Chains A and B, each alone.
Chain A
Amino acid sequence: MHGHSAMTNQTDHTLRAVVQDVLGLPAERVAAFTATTGLFGHLPELDSMAVAGLLTEIEDRLHIVIEDDEVDGEMLETYGALLAFVESKRGR
C-alpha cells in the first residue's frame, strides 16, 4: 500500500474545502496545510461561534454527527488532529 486510502483522500479534500469556506482563506493557503498546521488557538479567526459553524458544516458535508462532549481543544489543535477525528467518525 502506498499513500492514503481513497476515503482518506476524499475526507481530506472535503475537510480542506470546509475549512477554506468557513475561514475564507485562499485555496493555496489551505492546500499547504499539513498535519501539524495549527487551527484553534493559532488562527485568530476561529472563535467559539466559528468552531460551531465549522463543526456543523463538517457534519453536513461528511455525513457524520459530532456530539458536543466529543469536542475538545485537542481535536481542534491541528489540522491533522481534526482530520484524524473526522476519519475515526467516518470509519465507524
Chain B
Amino acid sequence: MIAGYPSPAGGKEYAVGFDRRRAHRVLVLPALFDEANKLRHFTIEVLRALDVVGIDGFLPDLPGCNESLAALEGQSLASWLLAAEAAAHHFGATAAVSIRGGALCLPPMLPVIRYAPVIGASVLRGLLRARVIASKESGRPESSERLASQGRRDGLELAGYHLGPQMIADLETAEPAGGASITEITQSDVGGPGLWLRVEPDHNPAQAARLASLIGAALA
C-alpha cells in the first residue's frame, strides 16, 4: 500500500497505492494545504472505494507535503505538476482525479476527472483571510493586499504553511488544468455538504462511495 515514485527534483517521494494491475489506474491529486488536512481521511477512503469498484488508485505525496523531505517553500504549482507527471508515468496512470485545489496541477496528457475544483485565487484568498482574521484578533492587524505583495516578494506563512514567492504568484492566477478529456464532478453530484467546509477533519463513507462510483462511471 505504501509506494514511492522518483521525484523530478531527485530522490523519492512516497505515495499510497492500491495496485492490482487492473485496466484503470488513476492518479489522485489531493486538495491543497488546510483542505488536504481536512480531507485526508476522506481521500484515502475514496482510494479504498475505488479499489472496491475495481480501479487502481495512487495518491502521491506532493513535494514539501506529508512525508516529503523537500522544503515546501521551494515548491510551486509548476514543481507539483512535474511531480504529478512523474508519478503518473511511474505508476502507469491511465487517468487523473483531482480533489479541490489538486486540479491546479493535473497532468495535461491524461484524461482528467475534477472533483469540486477551485481556482488558485480562491485557495489563496481563504488562507490570506484566515491570517488577517487571526492577526486582527491578536491586536496586530494586517491587510490582505500588503500580505499578498509581501508574499510575492518574500513568500508567506499562511495557516502554518510556508509558501514561497513562486507558489503565491502561481496561486494568484492558476485555473483548474485541462487534460486529454475533462469530466467535472460537483458537490451536488456527490450530495451533502463538502467536507472541506468543515472546521475539523471529517469523513463521510456515503460521499466517498458515491464519488468512487461517479469516477468509475466517468472511466467506463
User: Are the chains A and B members of one assembly?
Assistant: yes
Residues of A within 8 A of B (CB): 20-24, 45-53, 55-57, 68-69, 71-73
Q: Which residues of A contact B130 (CB under 8 A)?
A: 48-49, 51-52
* Residue of B127, B130, B131 ringed by the most chain A CB atoms within 10 A: B130
Q: How far is the CA of A20 from the CA of B197 in the complex (A)?
A: 10
Question: In the bound complex, do residue A56 and residue B199 qualify as a contact, i.e. CB atoms below 8 Å apart?
Answer: no
Q: Which residues of B contact A48 (CB under 8 A)?
A: 130-131, 133-134, 137
CB-CB contacts below 8 Å: B171-204 with A: 193-194, 196-200, 202
Q: Which residues of A contact B137 (CB under 8 A)?
A: 48, 73
Q: Which residues of A contact B144 (CB under 8 A)?
A: 68
CB-CB contacts below 8 Å: B124-164 with A: 125-134, 136-137, 143-144, 159
Q: Which residues of A contact B143 (CB under 8 A)?
A: 68-69
> Which residue on chain A has the smallest CB distance to residue B147?
A68
| 19 examples of A-B residue contacts, CB within 8 angstroms | A21-B193, A22-B198, A22-B199, A23-B198, A24-B199, A45-B199, A48-B130, A48-B131, A48-B137, A49-B130, A50-B199, A51-B133, A52-B129, A52-B133, A56-B122, A56-B126, A68-B143, A68-B144, A71-B133
> Which residue on chain A has the smallest CB distance to residue B138?
A48
Q: Which residues of B contact A45 (CB under 8 A)?
A: 199-200
Contact of B199 among A53, A69, A71 (CB under 8 A): A53
Using known A-B contacts A48-B130, A53-B126, determine if residue A72 contacts B197 with beta carbons closer than 8 Å.
no
